[in-house]
Structure 1
Amino acid sequence: MPSREQFHSEMEELNQDIIRIANKTKKALSNSIDALFNQDIELAKQVVSDDKLIDKEEASINDKTILLIAKQQPVATDLRRLIITLRVATDIERMGDNAKNIAKSTIRLGKDYQEEIPKELRTMSNTALVMLETALSAFQQEDISFAQKLAEMDDKVDKLYKQVVTNMLGKTAINSEEVQYLMQIAFSARYIERFADHITNIGESILFLVKGEIVDLND
């Protein structure tokens, strides 16, 4: 196979690796939120365990990308595309870490807390999952019109995050269990907000790939 065709074949393999790890991260967030709302400690533990697989896949993507750079010595857009692959893989891995941290909050809360989980967390999570699907479409098609939609959705997540934190600060905790509840809910909201921020980072990477411009979608 000619060198150019080999490059495109290996690049497509990397793209599929990105989609696969992103889908695992999507499942991690969905499961971590389900575990939180259902007090499902076993599911939360599974999310924590599965995060190791996401870490391994990110390391594999990094190794493949660096090897491809060394073999092909790409320039211009090809080099930029590989650098973006590294950046996107890193953001996805950190999204997995945020999902894992939500699961850890669920484990810390245990099965006996009586307080209701704020419904805003579910809305935040659902919005983040739509953002991830949008970002993956942008990545696959290198379409900046998808990437530019992410900022508006991220604003929605940010507003809900502030609402949750404000509500938590307005509550009075009179014992250690209530303090733990307020802390873990606030942390979980923050983890979802950070999950969404990493998705906007992916959008920024796509904008840079296509237009060669640095754009801050988190601004």
Structure 2
Amino acid sequence: MKTRILILLSILFALGTSIDSQAQKLKKFGGLTEKKIGPKTIKVPYTDIVTYLGYASPGNEDEVVDNKKFYYIYVWVPAIAPELGVRMMSPVGKNKVKGATMSKAYEDNASSSDFFDTYITLERSDIISKDKITAEGVKSAKWVTLERNDDSSEMPKQPSGSSYNSLLRYKSDAGNPAKALTVGLYRIGFTTYKTGEVKGTFLAQVAAPIKLPGVVMAKTIEDLKKGL
């Protein structure tokens, strides 16, 4: 009887491990354009994706907004884009992305099991020239939130089993300057849905359906300028 119980537990453990492994695997990043392939309709994958790997820790937030501790990743977009997609997952886990920018904080904490319930925003500033990108310029810039997302069923589940990772897509409105995706400085804001500390590794991606040579992502303005 004990032998049967042990075998059953081993099977359940193996299945659980397999499910958890699959749940944490990042899939292709599809855009708003859809294509029918046989009986299925799929989202056509973005052709240009820039990836940033980071680690968020308490006390290093950039701003407190509505009692939530916000962190920012700055993004320079060098050309007019018809659409932008943004997604974030925590923890990074075993996901490997070729060509990803790795922050020092991530490299120091890559093996950490900490993760957080991601909540993201895509914001555009009124800075449209590289020479205006300074600490003071960014601080005094006008920022507009174009889109936001909390939980996405398209993203891998977190180790807790909950679909608390985030994904958003934003289509440019060329006829409305306030809603257009112009050349300029953007940022991804992230925090947790609930008020509290943000702690853990994360993978953030910005994507477009066309090639945008020169897109740069960085956690600080200083690092952003180094990449321009």
Q: TM-score, normalised by structure 1?
A: 0.29
Instruction: Give the structure, 1 or 2, with the largest relative contact order (CA under 8 Å, sep 6 or more).
Output: 2
Which is strand-richer, 1 or 2? Answer: 2
Q: TM-score, normalised by structure 2?
A: 0.28
Which is helix-richer, 1 or 2? Answer: 1
